[in-house]
Structure 1
Amino acid sequence: MPHAVSRLRTARLARASKPFLARGGPRNERCAACRLIPSHCMCALRPAVPGVRAGVCLVMADIEALKPSNTGWLIADVVAETFAFEWARTVVDPGLLALLADPQWQPYLVFPGEFVAAERVVTEVLPSSVSSDGKPSKRPLFVLLDATWPEARKMFRKSPYLDKLPVLSLQSEQLSRYKLRRSQRDEHFCTSEVAALCLALAGEVQVAETLEAYLDVFTNHYLKAKQQQPLDLEDAVHQRLRGLRTEADPLPSAGAS
């Protein structure tokens, strides 16, 4: 079944008045599931991490879901409870409002604390676990503004329905390794990296590490396709992802069909 970002992409394409042409990447036919050309398809490498309690809510700028380089797509591949909504200044998707009000979730809007009133800023999240009395705690829901940095700042300012949410300000010294759409500032992470940092804060270490490794594999495949270079399924990035997969869900080795 297509995940939330895939469904949003399909809906956005249905409304388009002309074909969407991605800048930079190959213009060949792409796999509908992973957005890569068939020779570099990574569908067989999609990891499965069971038992993830945390969720991710992607609020996506207008054409973000259409971009082959978008990494929100990778989050939806890995985290089962990923939701995706298109942002608009004058209209709010009722499904987004219902999700934010759902009592099973504790939403956190992820955004730099320097732009927010201090009383809204948090640096820790509720653990994604079951309490000692056997009752499940509220599940953390990370709300990510999936857009370029200028777009994200606009979305933040013009979305009053987000004003009551606590703002999770990430405190990481890690520099972005994302090579497809480099920000002018190294401390600006791509959406998938942000999600991995959030998941780690929620105690979801395995899924965080898997998402990081999956991003590295996606970047590898994307750039190899763009440069018309063959893949090496036994290189370091594939080995790392393979090591994080369960034995019941093995990666294909080099030369596998």
Structure 2
Amino acid sequence: MPLPAPHAVSRLRTARIARSSKPFLARGGPRGERCAGCRLMPSHCLCALSPAVPVRAGMCLIMADIEALKPSNTGWLIADLVADTFAFDWARTVVDPALLALLADPQWQPYLVFPGEFVAGRRVVTEIQPFKEFDGNQGQRPLFVLLDATWPEARKMFRKSPYLDHLPVLSLQSEQLSRYRLRRSQRNNHLCTSEVATLCLELAGETLAAQTLDAYLDVFTNHYLNAKQQLPVDLEDALHLRLRSLRLPLVG
């Protein structure tokens, strides 16, 4: 089947590879051929299952140095689902002018998603503003700014990105434990980027999109681990049936 058009994370990955002086070898995964559309082994390709759901909210991924290169990165899943996903490399001394322009664009209300316990209280919000009108007839939409990195990297990015200091900090109130099994974390309440985006979509009232992204992460994890263990994928198991049921309203 034809590959989907490259989204923001895919384009960032391509640009990052072009800058690399040596090939990136992912730890813990197969080092053979990978599908350019989903980063999995061709035998476990996920492209045919990529969901299409209308989403009004936007996602802005600020990614640590090699995050876009990792096959286990879940920001890729967000970009598969949310049409208005933007992705930028993070650097301590340089900021992409396109990122600054996006944050200043009046069609968006940006929220920097980060735990409130690490932030001055006056910046912290736990709810988002309702869609507001601007320019006569279009609503201002929420733009969730996610630091796509390991937790130590994300804390460093938060401290050393002064161009984000003016943004309200959205502190998600959730007791959800992470189900992400592709990398280790010292704490079960450290969610992966896709899980954070799911909570943001729920907060924005994008229920179908939140449920679909949640199901898509489960299916991606299943394909990834089965490929790693050289096991076949069961397209009729509960995970695939759940994702398929959420995609049905868009058929016809």
Q: Report the TM range for the smaller structure's normalisation.
A: over 0.9
1:42 aligns with 2:41: no
Confirm or deny that 1:86 pairs with 2:84: no
- SS of 2:248's partner is coil
Which letter maps to 2:27?
R
CA distance in 1, matches of 2:116, 2:132: 26
In 1, Cα distance between the equivalents of 2:33 and 2:130?
Answer: 43
Q: Which residue of 1 aligns with 2:34?
A: 30
Q: Which residue in 1 is equivalent to 2:12?
A: 8
Distance 1:127 1:211 in 2: 22
- Structure-2 separation of matches of 1:167 and 1:25: 35
* Contact 1:31 1:37 (8 Å CA) reproduced: yes
> Which of 195, 211, 226 is 1:209 aligned to?
211
- CA deviation string 1:53-102 (max 9, x = no partner): 10000000000000000000000000000000000000000000000000
CA distance in 2, matches of 1:214, 1:130: 32
Give the alignment partner of residue 225 of structure 2, picking from 220, 223, 234: 223
What runs of 5+ residues in structure 1 fail to find an aligned partner?
251-257
Q: Does 1:242 align with 2:244?
A: yes
Percent sequence identity over matched residues? Answer: 80
The one-letter amino acid paired with 1:69 is S
Q: Paired residue for 1:114, among 117, 132, 148?
A: 117
Amino acid of the structure 1 residue aligned with 2:151:
W
Cα distance change, pair 129–227 in 1 and its aligned pair in 2 (3 A): farther
3-state DSSP class of the match of 2:146?
A: strand
Question: Deviation at 1:199?
Answer: 0.7
TM superposition outliers: structure 1 runs of 4+ over 6 Å: none
Letter in 2 for 1:41: C
- The residue type equivalent to 1:190 in the other structure is C
Distance 1:249 1:21, change over 3 A: farther
| Cα displacement (A) at 1:27 | 1.0
Please, what TM-score do these two structures have when normalized by structure 2?
0.95
Aligned partner of 1:36: which letter?
L
Secondary structure (helix, strand or coil) at the match of 1:188 reads coil
The two structures have a TM-score, normalised by structure 1, of 0.93
1:152 pairs, out of 151, 154, 161, with 154
* 1:167–1:142 Cα change, 3 Å: same
* CA–CA separation in structure 2 for the residues paired with 1:212 and 1:136: 29
Deviation at 1:247, TM superposition (A): 5.0
On the 8 A contact 1:127/1:203 being kept in 2, the answer is no
Contact 1:57–1:84, Cα closer than 8 Å, also in 2: yes
Computed over aligned residues only, the root mean square deviation of the Cα atoms, in angstroms, reads 1.5
Q: Hey, what does 2:193 align to over in structure 1?
A: 191
Secondary structure of 2:32's partner?
coil
| Residues 56 and 82 in structure 1, CA contact (< 8 A), matched pair in contact too | yes
Question: Is the 2:61–2:86 contact (alpha carbons within 8 Å) kept by the matching residues of 1?
Answer: yes
Aligned residues: 247
Indicate whether 1:59 and 2:53 are aligned: no
Task: State the one-letter code of the partner of 2:219.
Answer: V
